[in-house]
């Protein structure tokens, strides 16, 4: 082989190596005229697409025995399922416990009443009361009992004018402004029409003449816009010959659409059975009793045993405006009595200052209301330790009062629930409040000077106490809120009170 031939063969090898190194980018042409890396596919000339069955074909298939049987099976299964669900719903409705109907509740049954017997001591007169309505509204009260504010001189019947306001208390313009603002806040206003409020006895000797004036005054003030009247010594007044005429003035034209007017009467120093009889015989809407001022727990239980059936017509108070009993109790006992008032069956009635544990300085004179109790002294101020301790105690009592008022307003068991006694002794008591499928509440208090063990027993059939209950509110440091305690025995320190809660279990 000559030299030229060897050179040609080397060029052929190099050319072949270069072709192998070239990428398949499609730039080159293959031997068949195709680009390098291209794939040749054959596409059928006529593409076949499925368009479903025609109407005639569907009808033909639907009429076959197999599809007919399938449709019948599906139809039967549908109706069996539907009937089964309907039957299940009926069973659930029938077996479910039925809700107990809510009793007929009037506005005075829905929250506490707040008495302002001395408008000057409370806030400097009627205009001052109007300015303090925002404060009063925080207490969740439903009614405001004002006065007496009419014009009279003590023991002088000739000066009695029940239709004229004492100018030292305020004017009719002040009263109208007070009524307007109170009604906007959902607070009703009751006038205390005690005739001889500054004299030796609430009634004068000429009873029939006083009753005639009282009837005309009630008509006048109700037309003016007040929501009710309060009278003293209901036992005496309801036996007067023209008592029925006064009732007719206050209670006339009552319909479901109209707001009822309240006829409220005060009774003192009579038994629970006498109060119950008076509720039925007098026809008064609300009878205010001082039975709770008795210091014996067994008497309290007996009173509630007698009056809990009349709870929509009975109300309780500790201070009838004399400021010589309840106001002298210790701050701890004031909280205890507040718990009782808010959880007993009936309407609680408070006198201004009760919500902060206001103390009377002496005698029966109404004390001046204390304001701005939540205002703490500045860092640089010289602090009177006694005054600061008193202020702190007012704040604690205020918070306790508000918590109880809030709870009673939203819990049916406390608002209008059934009552069952659990325990009583001379110094302590306990009772249960429950309503239908709502939360249940147990009140337990010990106002004695020694610790006491309360052993709870429930005699009512069909109702059982659980083994434990949760502490909802407590003044006893050994019973912390939200803790769980046994209901077999409750240990309470002297002057302590606790409110327990347990759920409805069906």
pLDDT, tens only, 222-234:
999 999 999 999 9
Q: How confident is the model at residue 42 (pLDDT cuts 50, 70, 90)?
A: low
Residue ending a domain, among 395, 415, 435, is 415
Q: How far is CA 379 from CA 375, 382, 389, 390, 391, in A?
A: 12, 8, 16, 18, 16
SS3 content of the chain, % helix, strand, coil (to 5): 40, 20, 40
Exposed, middle or buried, 317 (CB in 10 Å: 0-12/13-18/19+)? buried
Return d(Cα 501, Cα 504) in angstroms, integer. 10
Are 385 and 474 contained in the same domain? no
Q: What are the tokens at 194?
A: 């005690």
Average pLDDT of every residue of the chain: 86
- Please report the pLDDT score of residue 26 as a whole number: 45
Domain count, the chain: 2
In a domain, 38, yes or no: no
Are 290 and 235 contained in the same domain? yes
At 225 the three-state DSSP class reads: coil
Residue ending a domain, among 392, 415, 438, is 415
The domain containing residue 207 runs over which residues?
A: 107-415
Max intra-chain CA distance, the chain = 165
Are 358 and 469 contained in the same domain? no
Are 401 and 437 contained in the same domain? no
Tell me the pLDDT tens digit for each residue of 446-469: 999 999 999 999 987 788 899 999
In a domain, 296, yes or no: yes
pTM across the whole model: 0.80
Under DSSP, the state recorded for 234 is H
Tell me the pLDDT tens digit for each residue of 5-20: 444 555 545 455 454 4
Indicate the range of 46-60, 64-78, 87-101, 119-133 predicted with least confidence. 46-60
The rounded Cα 279 to chain-centroid distance in angstroms is: 27
Are 371 and 439 contained in the same domain? no
Are 428 and 493 contained in the same domain? yes
The dihedrals phi and psi of 257, each to the nearest 5 degrees, come to: -85, -25
In a domain, 255, yes or no: yes
Q: How confident is the model at residue 32 (pLDDT cuts 50, 70, 90)?
A: very low
Residue ending a domain, among 390, 415, 440, is 415
Q: Which residues contact 15 (CB under 8 A, 6 or more apart)?
A: none
């Amino acid at each position: 082989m000559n030299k030229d031939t060897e050179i040609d063969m080397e060029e052929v090898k190099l050319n072949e190596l270069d072709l192998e190194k070239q990428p398949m980018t499609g730039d080159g042409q293959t031997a068949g005229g195709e680009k390098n890396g291209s794939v040749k596919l054959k596409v059928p000339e006529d593409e076949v697409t499925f368009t479903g069955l025609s109407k005639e074909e569907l009808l033909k298939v639907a009429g076959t025995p197999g599809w007919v049987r399938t449709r019948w099976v599906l139809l039967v299964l549908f109706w069996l399922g539907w009937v089964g669900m309907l039957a299940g719903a009926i069973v659930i409705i029938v077996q479910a416990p039925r809700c107990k109907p809510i009793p007929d509740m009037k506005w005075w049954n829905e929250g506490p009443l707040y008495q302002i017997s001395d408008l000057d001591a409370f806030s400097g007169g009627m205009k001052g009361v109007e300015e303090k309505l925002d404060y009063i509204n925080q207490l969740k009260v439903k009614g405001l009992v004002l006065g007496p504010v009419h014009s009279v001189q003590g023991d002088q019947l000739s000066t009695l004018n029940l239709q004229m306001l004492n100018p030292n208390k305020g004017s009719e313009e002040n009263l109208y402004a007070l009524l307007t603002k109170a009604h906007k806040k959902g607070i009703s206003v009751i006038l205390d029409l005690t005739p001889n409020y500054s004299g030796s006895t609430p009634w004068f000797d000429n009873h029939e003449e006083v009753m005639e004036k009282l009837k005309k005054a009630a008509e006048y003030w109700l037309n003016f816009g007040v929501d009710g009247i309060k009278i003293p010594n209901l036992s005496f007044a309801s036996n007067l010959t023209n008592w029925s005429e006064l009732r007719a003035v206050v209670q006339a034209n009552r319909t479901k659409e109209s707001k009822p007017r309240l006829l409220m009467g005060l009774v003192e120093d009579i038994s629970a059975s006498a109060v119950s009889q008076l509720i039925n015989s007098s026809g008064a809407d609300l009878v205010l009793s001082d039975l709770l001022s008795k210091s014996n727990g067994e008497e309290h239980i007996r009173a509630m045993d007698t009056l809990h059936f009349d709870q929509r017509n009975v109300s309780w108070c500790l201070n009838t405006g004399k400021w010589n009993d309840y106001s002298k109790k210790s701050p701890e006992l004031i909280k205890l009595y507040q718990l009782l008032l808010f959880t007993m069956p009936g309407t609680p009635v408070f006198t201004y200052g009760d919500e902060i544990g206001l103390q009377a300085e002496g005698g029966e004179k109404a004390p001046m209301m204390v304001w701005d109790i939540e205002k703490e002294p500045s860092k640089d101020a010289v602090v009177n330790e006694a005054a600061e301790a008193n202020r702190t105690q007012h704040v604690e009592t205020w918070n306790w009062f508000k918590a109880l008022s809030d709870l009673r307003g939203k819990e049916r068991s406390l608002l209008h629930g059934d009552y069952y006694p659990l325990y009583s002794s001379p110094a302590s008591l306990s009772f249960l409040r429950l309503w239908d499928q709502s939360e249940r509440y147990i009140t337990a208090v010990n106002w004695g000077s020694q610790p006491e063990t309360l052993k709870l027993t429930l005699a009512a059939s069909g109702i059982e106490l659980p083994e434990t209950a949760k502490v909802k509110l407590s003044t006893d440091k050994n019973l912390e809120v939200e803790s769980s305690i046994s209901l077999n025995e409750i240990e309470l320190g002297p002057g302590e009170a606790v409110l327990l809660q347990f759920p409805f279990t069906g």
